[in-house]
Chain A
Amino acid sequence: MNPKWRLWLAGGLAVAVIAAALYFPALRRQVYKVKDLSEQTAEQARRELLPPAPVNSGEPRVKAQMYWGSRANDGTLVPVTVELPLSSDPTLRAKEILNTLLAGPVDPEARTLPPDAALLAFYILPDGTGVADFSEALASSIPSGIQSEQLAVDSIARTLEANVPQVQRLRILIHGQEVDTLAGHLDLTQTFQVSMSTAGTPPAKSGVSALTAPIQKAYDKVKRATKRP
């Protein structure tokens, strides 16, 4: 190959590399866009299969306590009183309460659950265990971290405790499945305690989240008992 052709070839290759480098970010954006769209479509399809949430406009409006995050961003929950038409049936009531929790507070910063998450189903077992089945967005859209995952489950547990006394324990499923963790940290294979009253107790002082307060109390009781002569 003569030097002139080599020059042309090198020039052509350089132009191709530059063009590819310029095109690559646009291509990547396109791929992510298509991926997001297909995920949204699947989630949308699942939601459309679900029966519509019951509307109890005929039910009397009652005051309900919702537990959303503190605006101080300090990992605590704050009770907020809202007026809602709530069913007297505990399962329907739990669904209405959790849908309100998912809809979020006025201040989006105080949200504890992702805005695109949906409650797919809720059952109450004869032993008082409430089983809440959420869409995949609960796991995939929640900010990653121990504190944020703890706050999410804590807000569900405390809100149920305040408004649906029939629910004493809580199991959380993601799209009908038992999963290992919520988003890589919080253990979802266990049943969480719901019926207790530690509302408003900042974890910073007690070291106890709403999920574990009864366990903490039991531990302290045993500890005190073993200290006695």
Chain B
Amino acid sequence: MGLNMVVLDPAHGGTDLGARGTEGIHESDVVLQFAAAVKRALEGQGFQVIQTREGNENPSFDDRSARANAQRGAVFISLHIASTGLPGTARTYVQPDTTVSHDPTGLIPWDQAQAPFIPLSRKLGDMVQAELAKRFKGSPDVGQLVPIRQLRTTAAPAIAVEISSVVVENREDLDRMIPGVADAIARGVAQFRPSYVVPGMPGTPLVTQP
């Protein structure tokens, strides 16, 4: 069984507008537009895509993680728009290594769910970032290691993609980035697909192909 599903997470929503910029731009609205385009691009690559939110609601961090944790063979991508950074750039973030407390039952605590997936997340993050760097000059070449709350409880290869920024002269400047971001993410995930082999039996460890 291999990677077949992508859980897209448009961040914020509801009363949480996220970053607020010029021209009344709200991160919570813009990420939905990005998510729609990323979904189409991923479906074009043959992936099944589900979203943590479709409209203006704000699921909790745990509810969003639970959408991914309930799937087998999924990756999780959280989409953000920054209020800082060079306009027209995009960055991928991955959880840094964390110590996992060993449970005699073999179960992984919910708040450390990401820990076993970190090597895979880093691989996915670097692949997506390499595609973003090709399209958006000034973006880093590799994914950044930053502890992000949303990723910590996600039991799947998980990354956050942040686009700069809501502080743009025109809303069109952000809109113009949508196709490039969607294509970069879809290609990055497609390149990652052979690396991710999901075991058939529950409890067996994940395998990273060389």
Binding site for B on A (CB under 8 A): 72-75, 143-148, 150-151, 180-181, 184-187, 189-190, 203-205, 207-209, 211-212, 215-216, 218-219
* Stretch of B136-144, B176-184, B185-193, B195-203 at the chain-chain interface: B136-144
A-chain residues with CB within 8 Å of residue B141 when the two chains form the complex: 204-205, 207
**A148 touching B61 in the complex, CB below 8 Å, given contacts A143-B19, A185-B149, A212-B147:** no
A-chain residues with CB within 8 Å of residue B140 when the two chains form the complex: 203-205, 207
Q: Does any Cβ of A come within 8 Å of B206's Cβ? A: no
Would you call A186 and B149 a contact (CB within 8 A)? Answer: yes
Q: Does any Cβ of A come within 8 Å of B80's Cβ? A: yes
In the A-B complex, the 10 residue pairs with the smallest Cβ-Cβ separation, listed nearest first, are A145-B82, A207-B142, A212-B96, A143-B83, A187-B147, A204-B140, A212-B145, A144-B19, A187-B149, A148-B84
Q: Does any Cβ of A come within 8 Å of B18's Cβ? A: yes
Q: How many residues of B contact A (CB 8 A)?
A: 40
How many residue pairs at the A-B interface have CB separations less than 8 Å? 107
Pick from B18, B84, B143, B145: contact of A73, CB under 8 Å = B84
Pick from A181, A185, A212, A215: contact of B80, CB under 8 Å = A185
B-chain residues with CB within 8 Å of residue A189 when the two chains form the complex: 111, 149
B-chain residues with CB within 8 Å of residue A185 when the two chains form the complex: 80, 148-150, 160
Q: Does any Cβ of A come within 8 Å of B131's Cβ? A: no
Distance between Cα atoms of A211 and B86 in the complex (Å):
22
Would you call B16 and A184 a contact (CB within 8 A)? Answer: yes
Would you call A144 and B145 a contact (CB within 8 A)? Answer: no
CB distance from A223 to the nearest CB of B (A): 9
Distance between Cα atoms of A74 and B138 in the complex (Å):
8
